[in-house]
Amino acid sequence: MLAISVLMILPIVYIFNNAFKPYHELFVYPPTFFVREPSLQNFVELMLVTSNSIVPISRYLFNSVFVALLSVISVTVVSVLCAYPLSKHNFPGKKFIFSTIILMLMFTPEVIQIPRYLVVSSLGILNTYWGHLLPALALPVGVFLLKQFIDQIPDSLMEASRIDGANEIVVLARIVVPMSMPAIATVAILAFQNAWGNIDTSSLFMQDDEMKTFPFFLSTLTSNLANNVARQGAAAVAALILLVPNLIFFVILQSKVISTMAHSGIK
């Protein structure tokens, strides 16, 4: 397990080292894993590139943070409200709905890009924050994890609370949600990762540059420059900037993720 852990952490270490490599180390052959002469020139290059942007970089950052926070909250709430009745209530079409959610896990984002654009366009939410939020609102894997986790909660606890006069909202808020916090934390991580690194909504639904996100802006720095030297230092820093929030978010909630995987039926 220790050897596997070291192997899995190597890409993260490489991204951190790559961001501090001067250009003669970025393109040295054979390539080096660790930086030998740490430098901040790549960070300076990124600031110089972004300073020439028509839209301030602060606007892109605000959009990303705002959309990511809204996505975490809304996706988590919707997933809980969907998973609870699927797990603890019987109603017509329950199995069909859950089977449909499982089926949705099979489709990649590329398959549904055109239908999503048609829906977003018909709703009239192009160039709005709703265009960032609504396409990511339904998270099938989040509903699946929560449903499997809530299945483990004894029905007797809910029946006892109903006998004491609790309605469904109280049962959900005071019993289901507190006991499902590991799964909810996992869904929050998945929602944050999807929102923070997502460039599809900016490229497909946002024509106004002021509504685009930071990851999309960073992706434009090295577009069509894969075989060139230009801006590769800035790209290395951009990769680090995109990684750090995800890493911090995951480290804070990683114990919850482990608990979710142990109790949600995923072995």
Hey, where are the domains in the chain?
A: 66-213+245-263
Residue-wise pLDDT for 2-28, tens only, equals 888 888 888 888 889 888 888 888 888
Residue-wise pLDDT for 207-253, tens only, equals 888 899 988 887 777 665 544 566 778 788 888 888 888 888 888 77
Architecture of domain 66-213+245-263: Orthogonal Bundle (1.10)
pLDDT reported for residue 135:
87
pLDDT reported for residue 267:
40
**Do residues 98 and 156 lie in contact, with contact meaning Cβ atoms separated by under 8 Å?**
no
CA–CA gap between residue 207 and residue 214 (Å, rounded): 15
In sign, the C-alpha dihedral spanning 258, 259, 264, 266 is: positive
In sign, the C-alpha dihedral spanning 155, 157, 158, 159 is: positive
- pTM of the predicted model over 0.85: no
Q: What is the mean pLDDT of the chain?
A: 84
Q: How far is CA 208 from CA 127, 128, 204, 213, 216, in A?
A: 6, 9, 11, 11, 13
More confident of the two residues 267 and 73? 73
